[in-house]
Structure 1
């Protein structure tokens, strides 16, 4: 099966699951997201278990005419050893927990209870590697009792049977020996109706894949091993997936924190789909700014697209503590009297990231472009610190509307504790890309060639007229710590050789134009004087 066929069939599976929800009154319901993503996770776990079990040659399960029957014939001791031999990051299921088993039991009385109990038992048995922790250490449950989302109890059995029937029709197994990059398309399609960018207190903004690819390709230009990668505002994990693929899934451990439970669950699913389930125990649902779970941890790679504007007035005063003095070295943004939702929380994330870098650490942070030129306040203090600490590697200013969800112009800061302070690369990519319409929004899309141009300029430190400059830390200090490439571009005057006749012709043209302008000016003066003479004083 080709990738395209696989993607098409998987999208059909997702659509059919959504259709089941709609048929039972849950279309666009708030619980539809939980049902679709959790059922999809169960499907993936089921097929991944079967794929890994069939690789164990001693059990000959791959050659069995009926995998389910062969699984059920194993005695307790054999099955215990099977679970021991299977890859440690593989979900562990028992024969009575597979989709095939449930499909065969559809005529059982109280099928909805069997369905819910099965998912609950799978969740309990796989807690160690698949559960998301909160900052307090409590672990979530992977699956809700999905049948209870159907208010009419008489329809619950039929609803669960319909879900199992859809899951039984298609298998992921044929694609597990392929590279996982194509799952980004599946994941985005799976959550496109749920990863809202319409606002709200904790709106998740989807980082465009072009931006994520550029960040990863610039950060990872060697072959690191055993490194720790962190995102303090992970969302659904687009940035983390891209950098993990660039490093190699087996060469890194992923760490993340996000205040949104929905985002944490999305990230878990994204890690599973991208062969990174070994990092699920490092996903934390918590408030990175107020109570960072990884406060004293240092990371080799940090990526972040933090929220630019968010009301954190509820806990802003709690940040002003001795323990936070070093972390928030440039200060904490003031709480405005109005429009509290416009508070620049991203300034706290930047400082947190700088604090969290290891001695060899690198970071890439999406910021509003206004940050790179602000001449006062916390923004200026942060930029000064980046230069004084020789931390800035470069900046890329992106085109307008690179995010469909916001018109804010963005730039990407690249930090590196081993940065070359004599060769800092500033790129103005604002004129690149093609504008396309997505629903009511317009978005700028970069071509692969444009992406590569940005990557090559940054990695090779190449100056290019009106596109990039290579400057020193001292140059940046002389420009009031501006990180904008445009402020360093040379103003060039093109000189053209002309003949004496051409010069004479141009001068005559100028003289004629000037005479015309003088004549028009004189006529206007006469008219004004005429109007002035006509004015009379009248007393009321």
Structure 2
């Protein structure tokens, strides 16, 4: 009997919690290895169930497996030739597993001794078998495999078998099959819960920056539309993190109608992005995922060495990051960084000062095709910059008519940055005659998350308000204004909605009698205040005169 989505979601979260609990029992809670263990075991279970689900639907062998009381027990009877033949029928995005790789086979071997070695060896074998499909490449084209084993993180070798058995027991009580028809909406919530304790800005120099899901949805809907019939389009994020923006974009377009490209310097983010793509049916895009420094070594290039162009580009880059070690290298590329590169700091400070986001803006613009559309998250101060690299960028995107909209978000909606942010929208086709500027800074509500941290979020009705106002280029009092490019130039290239709002003075008609009454009240109150003031002056002078010199 098929379970409802809420039930399976609750069970999935229960699986994640049980894996966390086991890690905690073996002293791994909060450690750098915890997220590796949990995500690897979670993904192994997903692979096992996904393989079984797809194998039972394949020609020839599917009927044999689906009619068996336990498909994995029947699969154990396959010889090597049958296994290879079954593999030939599977879609390229489906993980391949041999009979001795299945969870059932492993679980039955858990009491035979040295189980930790068997578990890790099995995970490594699965990774090698699926290397071409599920590996992520570094910018130097080194493959980062999907599994590396989990028990070596237990320092006490005598406890490794117990740990491995406990992990397998967690997996054995759960099945993913009921949700393989589910898409982004289900797995995005599961993914966020899975990584909630590991995706934070405390990870050192290259911290992970999280984009709230509702903001990602707004960006995707405004770039793509709600009823777009697109096919074969390319989507790129040069600072992808765990993929929130890319997944929202792919979901809006249709996962089967687009290819995903990304790069991120963080190893942890790249691993999580891989997991996110696998969970959401985008495994075919995994060869396009790169780990490395986008600005220094952009991985996606054309055959002639130029930057690859994409149909859609999204980014929520780090705003400030000191990079003196390669600043001059970037500055020498005057074509890609036409507005310049921030000056290098003389010494590294506790808080970075180099505005690296200005480099990402230029990279995003360079990565858009001639009719491409993009959106990037920036500190709100950028949209009114009067000097420096920021001002040069503003001049170019207005003069070229590349910018077609800006949304200034509420404070603290990006809780990880602590900075007021805006989203700037680009369209290289230069088809817009006006720019829509939305000031959403007063929208949203405060709330406390599960850890009692105060945060801010947009409500669903506010998301609809922003989307509809932006699309229709409506002028709404106190919220939005649609202005021409000439008007923007007259305002010193400012993209702040507030600078274009009309100042309105409200007049209220009153009678002469009401006017005289109000004036009498004001006079009476002022007289009382003046009298009190005089009394205090007199008292202060009296007290002053009473002071005597004490020899």
TM-score of the aligned structures, taking structure 1 as reference length: 0.93
CA shift for structure 1 position 441: 3.8
Residues 1:26 and 2:35 are matched in the alignment: no
SS in 2 for 1:424: strand
CA contact 1:436–1:443 (8 Å) conserved in 2: yes
Residues 1:154 and 2:165 are matched in the alignment: no
CA shift for structure 1 position 440: 6.1
Cα 1:440/1:330, change in 2 over 3 Å? farther
Partner of 1:281: 287
Deviates more, 1:111-120 or 1:266-275: 111-120
Deviates more, 1:389-398 or 1:174-183: 174-183
RMSD of equivalent CA atoms: 2.5
CA deviations over 1:184-241 (Å, ceiling 9, x no partner) = 1111111112112236211112111111111111111122211110110011111111
Partner of residue 482 from structure 2, selected from 439, 448, 470: 470
CA shift for structure 1 position 57: 4.2
Give matches, 1:474-513, under 5 Å: 474-505=486-517
Deviates more, 1:156-165 or 1:99-108: 156-165
Cα 1:168/1:518, change in 2 over 3 Å? closer
CA deviations over 1:149-180 (Å, ceiling 9, x no partner) = 12222222222122122111111011112234
Residues 1:382 and 2:382 are matched in the alignment: no
Partner of residue 379 from structure 2, selected from 354, 365, 368: 368
Give matches, 1:46-125, under 5 Å: 46-59=48-61, 60=63, 61-125=65-129
CA contact 2:209–2:317 (8 Å) conserved in 1: no
Task: Output the CA distance in 2 between the equivalents of 1:243 and 1:13.
Answer: 28
CA contact 1:181–1:274 (8 Å) conserved in 2: no
Partner of 1:337: 346
Task: Output the CA distance in 1 between the equivalents of 2:79 and 2:446.
Answer: 61
Q: Which runs of 5+ in 1 are unaligned?
A: 535-540
Partner of 1:225: 231
Cα 1:71/1:488, change in 2 over 3 Å? same
Task: Output the CA distance in 2 between the equivalents of 1:421 and 1:18.
Answer: 50
Partner of 2:405: 394
Cα 1:503/1:22, change in 2 over 3 Å? closer
Task: Output the CA distance in 2 between the equivalents of 1:111 and 1:501.
Answer: 94
Give matches, 1:139-218, under 5 Å: 139-198=143-202, 200-218=204-222
CA contact 1:311–1:342 (8 Å) conserved in 2: yes
Task: Output the CA distance in 2 between the equivalents of 1:360 and 1:513.
Answer: 66
Task: Output the CA distance in 2 between the equivalents of 1:519 and 1:474.
Answer: 57
Partner of residue 444 from structure 1, selected from 443, 456, 470: 456
CA deviations over 1:230-286 (Å, ceiling 9, x no partner) = 110011111111111001000111100000111000000000111111111111001
Cα 1:504/1:252, change in 2 over 3 Å? same
CA shift for structure 1 position 39: 1.0
Cα 1:360/1:108, change in 2 over 3 Å? same
Residues 1:9 and 2:18 are matched in the alignment: no
Residues 1:36 and 2:70 are matched in the alignment: no
CA contact 1:366–1:410 (8 Å) conserved in 2: yes
Partner of residue 129 from structure 1, selected from 118, 126, 133: 133
CA shift for structure 1 position 367: 0.6
Task: Output the CA distance in 1 between the equivalents of 2:452 and 2:334.
Answer: 44
Give matches, 1:398-477, under 5 Å: 398-438=409-449, 439=451, 441-477=453-489
CA shift for structure 1 position 517: 8.6
CA deviations over 1:300-340 (Å, ceiling 9, x no partner) = 1111110011121121122122xx21111110001233536
Q: Which runs of 5+ in 2 are unaligned?
A: 302-306, 546-551
SS in 1 for 2:82: helix
Task: Output the CA distance in 2 between the equivalents of 1:314 and 1:472.
Answer: 41
Aligned length: 531
TM-score of the aligned structures, taking structure 2 as reference length: 0.91
Task: Output the CA distance in 2 between the equivalents of 1:420 and 1:506.
Answer: 56
Deviates more, 1:152-161 or 1:81-90: 152-161
Task: Output the CA distance in 2 between the equivalents of 1:3 and 1:495.
Answer: 56
Task: Output the CA distance in 2 between the equivalents of 1:51 and 1:180.
Answer: 19
Partner of 2:549: none
